[in-house]
Amino acid sequence: MRTTVGIIGAGPAGLLLARLLHNAGIDSVVLESRDRAYVERRQRAGILEQGTADALRAAGAGERMDREGLRHDGIELRFAARRHRVDLPALTGGRSVTVYAQTEVCKDLIALRTEEGGPLLFEAEALAVEGADTDRPRIRFRHQGTEDVLECDYAVGCDGFRGVARRAVPARLARVFERTYPFAWLGVLADVPPSHDELVYARHDRGFALLSMRPPATRHRPSGQAAPPPAGSFVSRLYLQVPEGTDAGEWGEEEIWDELERRFETADDWTLKRGPLIQKSVTPMRSFVHEPMRHGRLFLAGDAAHIVPPTGAKGLNLAVGDAVTLARALAHEKRTGSPELLDAYSGSCLRRVWQAERFSYDMTTLLHRAPDATGFEDRIQLARLERIVSSRAAETDLAECYTGFPFG
Ligand code: FAS
Ligand code: PHB
């Protein structure tokens, strides 16, 4: 099998890259180890930055997002029973975010790929990337029980944190930066309308909690069905900080609601509506960056190169930024013969990645209470929050970072 760009992974990075290359007249093959149902059902990110929403529209993949997604102009910070709304457009010259789940983004991109006809092989597991530092990189893979080789001009690892592509970068040339956190997120999807119309990030002595939401389409409705949901029909997506290594089975339904209620406490009459839990899972918290994001004709994009704790809602958006940057560079090389944007890819992405790492780290340490937190650290957290809610400069930094960084 042969193609111009061999893409490993059909998550947001791989699917959007394939779409952008198609629009630029560049052929590609996407190899995805799981089946379509798994990829379309995997509950992950829920917030699209302004740049991500714009990129999906420009790629011709934003129609259902515009119909079913929800524009959000603010988020609420909650601490010491206080509530503070951060007005995103007012602080960023008009930028907002869109609530539209990663599952839906993937469904839309898979549907487009299937329509446009470019090869997207499910249950095709890449085994290794070979010859990355030659003119003919190859991806060895197994599909339907048979081993095969995908010859390509360029190989792109969009295969996530546990993928194989990164291994093709010689250890002597790689630098890894990593931090793990002593806590994780217990995430639930609940069949009850959200108790607030925007996201709520709560810092509490008992730990962090997040109130988010999902369009009803997230209830595993196959993409393409009509009937746009009325905004009121959204369901609740909620997260609780739990100790690292927690098993979701340790938490019963009532216990989860009771703990959420404690952490979202306010001085006013706000209440948390309860309902049946549809889905429950634990996400570990990690900061990780692999440098460089290129080796010869192998490029890394998305979680294959970097991981952020989800507090800043950056993971999916960084993956989109990498795909946009790489597609632009490959199209430039096809049009002009010049490799200059390809040569600039890693540095350009890493500038954006490190800004997102800094913001995600700041939001995580601002809002989560470490198991060994001291009274001093509690007071510093509250002082940091007080600074944000009382200083337009500090609040602007949060709003600019939350709505997203320009794609290089
Ligand atoms: P992905 O991991 O999405 O996709 C990689 C794909 O490659 C997968 O489909 C995988 O099956 C495939 N693959 C792996 N190895 C392969 C091989 N050898 N051969 C072929 N295919 C292979 N981000 C947020 O912004 N907000 C959140 O709330 C949030 N929650 C998350 C919860 C969880 C449990 C996880 C794991 C991540 C979460 N993230 C969140 C981050 C997440 O959204 C990622 O940033 C996003 O999926 C990155 O997209 P990709 O880089 O495409 O990687
Ligand atoms: C989500 O809706 O899944 C979500 C929202 C904001 C975050 C993280 C996750 O910061």
pLDDT at 223: 47
Residue 210 Cα to ligand 2 middle (Å): 8
Report the residue among 33, 44, 324 best suited for mutation to probe ligand 1: largest number of ligand atoms under 8 A from its CB. Answer: 44
pLDDT value of position 220: 47
Q: Which H or E element spans position 181?
A: strand 175-190
Residue 402 CA: which ligand is closest?
Answer: 2
Give the residue whose CA is nearest to atom 4 of ligand 2: 46
Locate 193 and state its tokens: 């309308």
Residue 304: nearest ligand to its CA?
A: 1
For every residue of 130-144, DSSP letters joined together read E-TTSSS-EEEEEET
Contact 269, 289 (CB under 8 A): no
The span from the CA of 325 to the CA of 406, in Å, is 10
Ligand 2 centroid to 212 CA: how many Å?
Answer: 6
Output the CA 46–ligand 2 centroid distance in Å.
5
Catalytic residue among 204, 295, 314, 368: 314
Q: Which atom of ligand 1 is nearest to the CA of 313?
A: 25
- CA dist 18 and 253 (Å) reads 40
Q: What is the pLDDT of residue 405?
A: 75
The predicted pLDDT at position 116 comes to 86
387 CB-near residues (< 8 Å, 6+ apart)? 394
Q: Which of 113, 148, 158, 303 to mutate to test the pocket of ligand 1 (most atoms within 8 A of CB)?
A: 303
pLDDT tens column, 9-40: 999 999 999 999 999 999 999 999 999 999 99
Query: By C-alpha distance, which of 34, 29, 24 is closest to 14?
Result: 29
Nearest CA to ligand 2 atom 7: 313
Q: What does the pLDDT profile of the chain (408 residues) look like in tens digits?
A: 999 999 999 999 999 999 999 999 999 999 999 999 999 998 899 999 999 999 999 999 999 999 999 999 999 999 999 999 999 999 999 999 999 999 999 999 999 999 987 999 999 999 999 999 999 999 999 999 999 999 999 999 999 999 999 999 999 999 999 999 999 999 999 999 999 999 999 999 999 999 999 987 554 444 444 444 555 578 999 999 999 999 999 999 999 999 999 999 999 999 999 999 999 999 999 999 999 999 999 999 999 999 999 999 999 999 999 999 999 999 999 999 999 999 999 999 999 999 999 999 999 999 999 999 999 999 999 999 999 999 999 999 999 999 997 675
Q: Is 161:304 a contact under the CB 8 Å cutoff?
A: yes
First to last CA, the chain: 32
Residues in the chain: 408
* Catalytic residue check, 107: no
Helix locations, 225-369, DSSP H: 253-263, 315-336, 340-367
From 214, 234, 237, mutation site for ligand 2 pocket: most ligand atoms within 8 A of C-beta: 237
What is the whole-number distance in angstroms between the Cα of residue 37 and the centre of ligand 1? Answer: 15
CA–centroid distance, residue 194 to ligand 1 (Å): 25
Q: From the alpha carbon of 9, which atom of ligand 1 is closest? A: 7
Instruction: Say if ligand 2 is within 6 A of residue 311 CB.
Output: yes
| Residue nearest to ligand 1 atom 34, measured at CA | 283
Q: Which ligand is nearest to the CA of 314?
A: 1
Look up 361 and say whether it is catalytic. no
CA of 326 to the centre of ligand 2 (A): 26
Catalytic annotation on 201?
Answer: yes
**φ, ψ dihedrals at 279, nearest 5°:** -155, 145
Q: Write out pLDDT tens, residues 178-233.
A: 999 999 999 999 999 999 999 999 999 999 999 999 987 554 444 444 444 555 57
**Is domain 2-403 given the CATH code 3.50.50.60 in the classification?**
yes
Q: Are 66 and 57 in contact (CB under 8 A)?
A: yes
Ligand 1 closest atom vs CA 239: 28
Residue 117 tokens read as 């006809």
Distance, in Å, from the CA atom of 147 to the CA atom of 141, rounded to the nearest integer, reads 6
Ligand 1 centroid – CA 70 distance (Å): 23
Instruction: Identify whether 402 is a catalytic site residue.
Output: yes
pLDDT for 139 equals: 98
Domain boundaries, the chain: 2-403
* HSE toward the beta carbon, residue 52, CA cutoff 13 A: 32
- Which pLDDT does position 232 carry in this prediction? 57
Q: Which two tokens stand for residue 213?
A: 């939401």
The verdict on the CB of residue 314 being under 6 Å from ligand 1 is yes
Partner residues linked to 63 by β-bridges: none
Report which secondary-structure segment, H or E, holds 217: none
Which helix or strand (DSSP H or E) is residue 159 part of? none
Residue 156 tokens read as: 């792109």
Residue 164 beta carbon below 6 angstroms from any ligand 1 atom:
yes
Half-sphere exposure of 322 (CA within 13 A, CB side): 33
Question: Which of 201, 215, 239, 295 is flagged as catalytic?
Answer: 201
DSSP 8-class letter at 369:
-
Residue 332 among the catalytic residues: no
